[in-house]
Structure 1
């Protein structure tokens, strides 16, 4: 397979950098794409070329037109992406893009939309032997008022879709914040109205009202699916998070939870999913696992997955270019590897602790230099870090708002 060419989009992300490194190490010729220059994936020694395209979140049509022209002008075997936005757009236009002769590494739209619409996901999971939070799908504010009358527990107002593409081709991302959580003594109807009125996308498709599961921390099963469940599996937990109260994992490590793996396999099988998939659960103190969401894309801890012995990007490539979507399942994986997002989640974790007067956080932060693998800064591929350090400095100085870097 040496000499085959592939395109990896979204190379501002650390998981896209992991895909570039994985495929480049296998001898593929990798072009790293993004909506600006000098991104981490573009600066990697495993990237042979760069491709700059219009911002997909700003203009879906311009992005798809430019990508189609680029695919027609090049002889790529496959194109990969990692963000919610790019995954949604490539799935929506998959037939058109694959007419160029390039395999597109996302699911078909009809399958993709199933887990992306959490209302449909939890309706599907209701028929499985998988624990799920009590979930309500209001059709009107009156439905919320009726539910509120008998509520005695904390709930989460959860957007049905994380990523929404409007009629003008502009993308919108619906994230959950503290205001989405409503305790029993708070006004659910008022909060619901406030969130819906402030977001046009939520008015078009009313959010769910879901039971809050009081657990230790979200844990994940990820892997590659072949239409009949997971054919390659890895599981991880967040060892340190930013913000410290709960958020993106700044340090992660592998775990092995057979019960959670079985639950994830049931969900993925019911979705009839093919390709990379990320299934998130809440682990409760009694070691039960409640389904939270499914993301049909590469996950933030892709580097940890690869470094622990499950090279999903390479397996995915084989799946895309092969006649049979079934690939050989790896024999287990390591659970002793800790992977760190020094740039920039762990720096922000330290900064927030300092802002709160918790200077003891410096000790575990410094210790991680000896005990974890950093996702971007790699002695074997040092130039990639130059693409993320400027953004890290901006974040620490407050010159850039918080954003998700996968």
Structure 2
């Protein structure tokens, strides 16, 4: 097992870097893959080699053909990936790719579609006693007027899939912006129409209309599932957020929430999910947890999970190479570790606070250099930091010009 060769794609991502580092430390020979050279993961000392492939966002067919040939020519035990797009592509072509003799670390296509189509996901959880926002999946614009007439609360227009691959193989990314939130006095039909008119992918599969849950914060349960539930689990919260009004966690830490763990177990069990999974909830003032989404892939804070004592990539590797083996459940995990995304969320967090005159933000920002672990910067593995220099220059330029890079 030790010394086997694995391929980790999406080498531009901080979570891919975390996967590369931990698998390399376990003694595996790691190849870092991406659509250009000198990505952070490729520069890690734990990456023995690099694989540069066609950009899957530009030409999915060329990427799949190139990857298939690469797997046929190289003796890999398993392939890992971390982004929505890459997970979707590998899942859709999993049978073809595994015909090379390599285990592909994503779910089968039909199972993958269950949580990644939010309409099907929220229909599924109706029967498993997990709190979830009221969700409507309209089949036509005519239904929107009826929904609007009956509502008295804020709703969210939510795309059914974050990443959508159309019949031509072209990928579309559907993100939620401020315009997707519709207050009780606003015209839902007008806003809904504007949103789908601006996005061809949304016209093919109409977005959901979902009740807005006004809670304290989003919290997550992540882990490794074996088809019957979670065999390894970690939970975390956002300690610092960019934008400060609510967004990506720039500093995160572990938590223990047994009720949220129980809900997550029910969900992954109902899905029959195998592999890494990320389940996001909204925690309310009454300490209830409402399901927001499920992502069948590695999460942004994978490094925090590993550094807190739950090495999901290593457990996932063992699951892939020996599906019949029993995964040893970790005894527990630390909640005193803080993990920081200095590049770029925490820099942007500081920038936004300073722009609003909140100069107190300088103190916790500086203190974090001594009290948190950084996603990319690691004295024992310094070269990946060079891979983020081009993006860092863009951030600095934007800060000077007053532009937005979020």
TM-score clears 0.5: yes
Aligned with 2:164: secondary structure? strand
State the match for 2:32 in structure 1. Answer: 32
User: Alpha-carbon deviations, 1:140-197, whole Å to 9, x = none?
Assistant: 1111100110211000000001101122222111011101101111111111000010
- TM-score w.r.t. length of structure 2: 0.98
Which 4+ stretches in 1 moved above 6 angstroms? none
Inter-partner Cα distance in structure 1 for 2:97 and 2:91: 9
State the match for 2:58 in structure 1. Answer: 58
Inter-partner Cα distance in structure 2 for 1:29 and 1:402: 35
State the match for 1:207 in structure 2. Answer: 207
Q: Number of residue pairs matched? A: 403
Q: Which runs of 5+ in 1 are unaligned?
A: none
Shift of 1:80: 0.2
- TM-score w.r.t. length of structure 1: 0.98
Aligned with 1:138: secondary structure? coil
Inter-partner Cα distance in structure 1 for 2:328 and 2:392: 39
Inter-partner Cα distance in structure 1 for 2:37 and 2:87: 21
Inter-partner Cα distance in structure 1 for 2:124 and 2:325: 24
Inter-partner Cα distance in structure 2 for 1:150 and 1:167: 36
Inter-partner Cα distance in structure 2 for 1:328 and 1:142: 52
- When structure 1 is superposed on structure 2, of 160-169 and 393-402 the one drifting more is 393-402
Shift of 1:344: 1.1
1:351 lines up with 2:351 in the alignment: yes
State the match for 2:294 in structure 1. Answer: 294
Shift of 1:129: 1.1
CA RMSD of the aligned region, Å? 1.2
Inter-partner Cα distance in structure 1 for 2:353 and 2:278: 29
**Alpha-carbon distance change, 105 to 193 in structure 1, aligned in 2, over 3 angstroms:** same
Shift of 1:390: 2.0
1:235 lines up with 2:200 in the alignment: no
Inter-partner Cα distance in structure 1 for 2:3 and 2:218: 40
Q: Which runs of 5+ in 2 are unaligned?
A: none
1:2 lines up with 2:2 in the alignment: yes
Inter-partner Cα distance in structure 1 for 2:112 and 2:243: 30
State the match for 1:388 in structure 2. Answer: 388
User: Alpha-carbon deviations, 1:174-233, whole Å to 9, x = none?
Assistant: 011101101111111111000010000100000000000000110000000000000000
Shift of 1:352: 1.5
Inter-partner Cα distance in structure 2 for 1:314 and 1:73: 24
Shift of 1:395: 2.4
State the match for 1:165 in structure 2. Answer: 165
Write the mapping of 1:105-254 to structure 2, written as runs, cut at 5 A: 105-254=105-254
User: Alpha-carbon deviations, 1:263-283, whole Å to 9, x = none?
Assistant: 000000000000000000000
State the match for 1:45 in structure 2. Answer: 45
Shift of 1:389: 2.5
Aligned with 1:126: secondary structure? helix
Shift of 1:325: 5.5
